Structure 1
């Protein structure tokens, strides 16, 4: 009887382009043509969540991968050239970064190699917590922009960083574009010289080689599929140094995102001030229709305590005492928010940046270890200087905010008292005192904010200007309209008079005429420069170790997703071996080919190429005297190091599909090494490839009423998901449950193979009917096949097992 059973079935509304099992949990991620990312659970194939496309992510998902710990999903967006990291628990976007080329495939691998140096680093990596305060969470009111740093999600930052152990996200795209990202965030290598478009890739867990399947298209011939093995020895030889450097740079990248989000919150707080001004004072100024300037009338009120009838009417009727009080509180609250963000967020983030960059500078001075990786101490010095300049500019903004708040408070307090007197209300004694300093603050406010100087108008061109603070938050290259007055600053005067100090590298430049955004962009550019150099150096160190032209392909059907196309790649981590499984339908349709190479390009492995004969694959298990049947392989994926899960099609009956497990142990242990001619494609010499026959025994299952085409497996969870040729119909199977069934139902051991297939058919009918009842759409004729066989009931094996009840599908 079959050793695996069906536990779920679905008809999906949109064609599926990608399906990848979680490496740790019973979850499968699906991406469809509508741009949705779906997460389903194994039990009944229940949907856990869906992430719809939006403006920030785009609609065209081109590849999909799980982080090895199963907590993060990465997917690429072709129309926006973006890579998105998504929280698998909450369907929330945690991080987005752009890439230079559309991504066609990705692979995320965990580095398993251990050493005493790495162990000591793992244990000491969090020592920065002893010296640095915890980063404050961003305000709740701005949580829409804060993503992973808001108060409710303060733990998400650690989720994004993940374990200290190194993991690498490999991206492949058009024109040989290949990049490696440590922890899915920091680019540690940019490869050049890979020919063609990447169709699939696989980085070995020992970091010794990167295997790539590429498609090279010429103008006169059909596209050719090539296998390339790249030597990444620098990464494996310097693994402790790469891990330490990558972890530091990942911290730095996260801190840059934190500072960007803090600035976004500051800009939103400033927009609140602009909105309040626009609603109240600007409208008030615009409705004044006399030739006298508003500034003059306010000055007259300040000096003589008298106002024109028109100004008094506008103040009492348009602004009102209550409205003025509310406006003052709103503006003061927004100023306080900006001030707190500068003190607690910008300064804390800058301090953390300086700490990590200083440690990276110390690493770069250990040239024997880190110079081969491209760490440049001069570039890191420039980055540290840029962070220092950003800190100085933030402090300068604090001084401007402090002065503006004093002016605002003095103005609103004076105007509030003046309006109380106009309405002949009682003025509180504590407000009735106006010192000469207060008068000076009010005069400064009137001259700065009610001036008709066009250069001081706000971004909307209105009559009321509030740009003293806002000019620092503008993301523009222009100099500050009103730079701070540094006259009387003894330290700056001392610096100007001292030539040696003025040119000293120990002092951070302050850039007085520039805005905070400008200095922030300059800081990001300096840090990006020192982040880029290791990626370029490591990328240049990667060399091609082996290349083989496999076969030419005819025109691909438009609806065939790239992920499901063979060849497929697999790493045997224990043995240090790398496998490539592929078919050559035009040369030998009834054979499945298996190439084996060492993950270390400098070590040769015998029996590097083998053909698995699919003729009479099932007949040996049923009847040796039966006429030989030919099968072709539609899809194949490694289930574990010695088992291949395949979807087979019978040549004489194209609608028949079989899901099978191919044991590779006996085939891999025998055979002759194939000596190939590098001047020819492999399909042109396929007759010389040594072939091996296989015996399936009972490790197969007939897929009735389904035109199966693709399969995705997870040997750790012992599950498989089969997808139909129309990309809408899926079935989920538990693969290794024979022992469990034997314990639960001893009587099932006597069931014949024919009866077992009948039970399965009946169980499938129950599943299809349940789907039709639960979702209002039938599944019986989703692809042009006939309906399931009629029966009076559902087989007990399908209804009694947990998670496979038809009425819940």
Structure 2
């Protein structure tokens, strides 16, 4: 009996281009050519959820990576040049950020426990909970643009930060740039000058080195496959400082999103109906025949209770009593909502920003520890000042809202009574009383707000600016149309008359003529400057340590990217990087395995050997051995000691494919040293590479009725997933099953054969894929029959 138990089988309607097992859970992520991200559970290979492409994300997934704890899934989008972080539990987008160049590969690494012995230093980060209140949730009724700060889970930042140990998402692509993102959010380093297009990367768990596989085009039809090893020891040497800084910066980055979302909700709370008074007054000016100003018309109504025919027509026919009542309610509701968002959300977020930036400044002043990783106290001080200016502008908006609400209430109460009298309706007794103080208050409001504004003549046909709150929420660079009047303010006069105090860095700039959006952009720019410096400094410390040209090959555009060799593996126990590759042009029957130490200060044997599959000994259950000639289609590390491979026989008439476990202890039992010439490619020195023969014993299984090609494995869960060459037929195997069931049902094998026939029909004739064939009734019946057999 074969040692691997067939656990599940599936025929998918769309070709799969990525399949990655979760590092902790029984989940596998699949990305297909339609731009969908699918999550399947091991049990019967059932789909958990699917994330369809849209304008907010993208349609062309170029790489997929799991966070080491298996709670967050990252995927990159080639068409929109963005990376998206997705919550695995609910298929919700947690975070999305742009990238400088298209990403072709990603790797999400967590610092191992052996290298993370500074937990006491990291845990001090939690002290912020003692001083800061929990951020209020963003009201769901206003905005659904973000899931991070919804009403149900306003502390989603903790899901992104997770453990105290540092984890880093590394991205690489065609732009000669490698980017490091701490906790998947904050860019902690940018390394430039990487040659070619990155096809694979792996950051060591001790943070000492980064291994890369790049593809460099040499001619029109040829490319060189190159292995690079970059020295990232600065991250390792300053691990406590880098972790503490990264957590602070991630908090700050998330708070910036919170502020942006809160301001978006404020803009949505402001309604266009508030502009109705301005537009009607403008129309009144354009249509009236008298030379009397609008202000005089309303003052005459206030003092004498008389209105001109034009004003009476404006109030009774256009504004109407019902419209005035609705306008008053809208203004009060809108202003109250904006006021609550400023007080509860905007100010709370700003206070949290000030706290984290102040702590960051204290860290930057400890130059011995934080200077080498790029913390600049001067830039952080500029960011603190910018946040202070934002708080001042938010307080100014609160004052404008408070004053406007009082003015509008008094004005609408008087105007409501005046319109009732014009229409000869009953005036309620409680509204009929108006003191001399109330008349003076309304008169002041009319003289201040009902002046014609010449500066508005060319802006949307308006002549008035009665409503003063909306100008603060416009995302424009223009100055405020009606800035607040500070004449006679004792503090403003004192500062203006004190030159030394006026230029003091202790006072935050107030930008009296600018909108809240403008000050927010100033704040974001200042914070971005202090966040960019460490990424630049750490990025410059990343240097190339070694460069080995592996081989040359012809360009094959039909082969899916990132599903082919070479592949990388980080062995945590001994601190080694493994590179597995084949050289088809030199020998189709050999797998090459190269070892490189992650720590450049250690003297460790870095070897290279070839595993010969051309004389492979395969033991069967009767202890007989057969000699077969195989070539390797795909290989992935099952764990630190085992390599999972998909092999194909060399016979033209019978292309048998097998899934096998290749034990590395048998490969390295008689390891020999190999010294290569750096001036030559490895394929030019292939004759000198030591060769090992292996015996698979019973760790293999024939993949009948399937054109298997690619494999994804999870050594922790002891499972593997095999994908066919047409990228639609999947089989899942349990790898370490000690005892097979007494008899695998023959019906299951027949169903597999039927599925294989459907698979072959999908790539008929010239190889063009027929998308709709999988939806036919016959295929559906076969799938149901297969699933029912699997359940039994």
TM-score by length of 2: 0.92
Q: 1:303-323: CA deviations, max 9, x gaps?
A: 321224454455345444333
- Counterpart of 2:748 in structure 1 is 763
1:367: Cα distance to partner? 1.0
Q: Secondary structure at the match of 1:523?
A: helix
1:387 matches 2:394: no
The verdict on how the C-alpha distance between 1:241 and 1:184 changes in structure 2, with shifts beyond 3 A counting, is same
- Counterpart of 2:81 in structure 1 is 81
Distance in 2 of aligned mates of 1:31 and 1:16: 6
1:686 matches 2:686: yes
Q: 1:6-54: CA deviations, max 9, x gaps?
A: 2222222221111111111111111111111111111121111111111
1:807: Cα distance to partner? 7.4
The verdict on how the C-alpha distance between 1:613 and 1:519 changes in structure 2, with shifts beyond 3 A counting, is same
The verdict on how the C-alpha distance between 1:386 and 1:614 changes in structure 2, with shifts beyond 3 A counting, is same
Cα pair 2:616 2:694 within 8 Å, conserved: yes
Distance in 1 of aligned mates of 2:736 and 2:420: 84
1:624: Cα distance to partner? 9.6
Gaps of 5+ in 1: 786-797
1:117: Cα distance to partner? 6.6
- Counterpart of 2:635 in structure 1 is 636
Cα pair 2:328 2:409 within 8 Å, conserved: yes
Gaps of 5+ in 2: 766-782
- Counterpart of 1:720 in structure 2 is 720
- Which segment is superposed worse, 109-118 or 577-586? 109-118
Q: Secondary structure at the match of 2:455?
A: helix
- Counterpart of 2:780 in structure 1 is none
Cα pair 2:8 2:790 within 8 Å, conserved: no
Q: 1:153-199: CA deviations, max 9, x gaps?
A: 32433212322211000010113210101000111111022211110
- Which segment is superposed worse, 318-327 or 387-396? 318-327
Cα pair 1:621 1:696 within 8 Å, conserved: no
The verdict on how the C-alpha distance between 1:461 and 1:93 changes in structure 2, with shifts beyond 3 A counting, is farther
Distance in 2 of aligned mates of 1:702 and 1:158: 46
- Counterpart of 2:257 in structure 1 is 257
Q: 1:572-627: CA deviations, max 9, x gaps?
A: 11121110101101111100010111111222332611111112325454799987
Cα RMSD (Å): 2.8
Q: 1:117-170: CA deviations, max 9, x gaps?
A: 721134322111111111111112123134211212324332123222110000
Distance in 2 of aligned mates of 1:29 and 1:625: 39
Distance in 2 of aligned mates of 1:442 and 1:53: 55
- 1:291 is aligned, of 286, 289, 292, to 289
Distance in 1 of aligned mates of 2:354 and 2:252: 9
- Counterpart of 1:515 in structure 2 is 515
Q: 1:36-88: CA deviations, max 9, x gaps?
A: 11111111211111111111212111111111111111111111111111111
Distance in 2 of aligned mates of 1:457 and 1:114: 70
Q: What does 1:105-254 correspond to in 2, within 5 Å? A: 105-113=105-113, 118-219=118-219, 222-254=222-254
Distance in 1 of aligned mates of 2:725 and 2:103: 24
Q: 1:206-255: CA deviations, max 9, x gaps?
A: 10110011111134672101101111111001100100010111101011
Distance in 2 of aligned mates of 1:337 and 1:117: 48
Distance in 2 of aligned mates of 1:638 and 1:439: 84
Distance in 2 of aligned mates of 1:711 and 1:448: 75
Q: Secondary structure at the match of 1:175?
A: coil
- Counterpart of 2:47 in structure 1 is 47
- Counterpart of 2:23 in structure 1 is 23
The verdict on how the C-alpha distance between 1:600 and 1:315 changes in structure 2, with shifts beyond 3 A counting, is same
Q: What does 1:708-747 correspond to in 2, within 5 Å? A: 708-739=708-739, 741=740
1:300: Cα distance to partner? 3.0
Distance in 1 of aligned mates of 2:421 and 2:466: 27
- Counterpart of 1:597 in structure 2 is 596
Distance in 1 of aligned mates of 2:555 and 2:667: 32
1:562 matches 2:556: no
Cα pair 2:19 2:28 within 8 Å, conserved: yes
Distance in 1 of aligned mates of 2:448 and 2:565: 69
1:805 matches 2:788: yes
- Which segment is superposed worse, 142-151 or 111-120? 111-120
Distance in 1 of aligned mates of 2:216 and 2:347: 51
Distance in 2 of aligned mates of 1:460 and 1:633: 69
Distance in 2 of aligned mates of 1:199 and 1:374: 30
- Counterpart of 1:364 in structure 2 is 364
- Counterpart of 1:613 in structure 2 is 612
Q: Secondary structure at the match of 2:340?
A: helix
1:105: Cα distance to partner? 0.6
- Counterpart of 1:698 in structure 2 is 698
Cα pair 1:763 1:799 within 8 Å, conserved: no
Cα pair 1:44 1:804 within 8 Å, conserved: yes
Q: Secondary structure at the match of 2:141?
A: helix
1:528: Cα distance to partner? 0.7
Count of matched residue pairs:
771
Q: 1:721-767: CA deviations, max 9, x gaps?
A: 1111111221222212224x4xxx5xx3xx7xxxx6xx5x6414346
Q: Secondary structure at the match of 1:614?
A: strand
Cα pair 1:376 1:533 within 8 Å, conserved: yes
1:444: Cα distance to partner? 5.2
- Counterpart of 2:707 in structure 1 is 707
Distance in 2 of aligned mates of 1:473 and 1:484: 15
Q: What does 1:232-631 correspond to in 2, within 5 Å? A: 232-270=232-270, 272=271, 274-275=272-273, 277-278=275-276, 282=279, 286=283, 289-292=287-290, 295-309=295-309, 311-443=311-443, 445-446=445-446, 451-456=451-456, 460-462=460-462, 465=465, 468-558=468-558, 560-606=559-605, 608-621=607-620, 628-631=627-630
TM-score by length of 1: 0.90
Q: Secondary structure at the match of 1:713?
A: strand
The verdict on how the C-alpha distance between 1:765 and 1:297 changes in structure 2, with shifts beyond 3 A counting, is farther
- Counterpart of 1:791 in structure 2 is none
Q: 1:477-522: CA deviations, max 9, x gaps?
A: 2222221111111111111111221111111111212221111111
Q: Secondary structure at the match of 2:89?
A: coil
Q: Secondary structure at the match of 1:527?
A: helix
1:459: Cα distance to partner? 6.5
Distance in 1 of aligned mates of 2:474 and 2:264: 11
Distance in 2 of aligned mates of 1:446 and 1:12: 70
1:462: Cα distance to partner? 4.6
Cα pair 2:106 2:200 within 8 Å, conserved: yes
Distance in 1 of aligned mates of 2:332 and 2:30: 49
Q: 1:378-431: CA deviations, max 9, x gaps?
A: 111111111111111111111111222222212221122222323444433432
Cα pair 1:607 1:672 within 8 Å, conserved: no
Distance in 1 of aligned mates of 2:784 and 2:481: 75
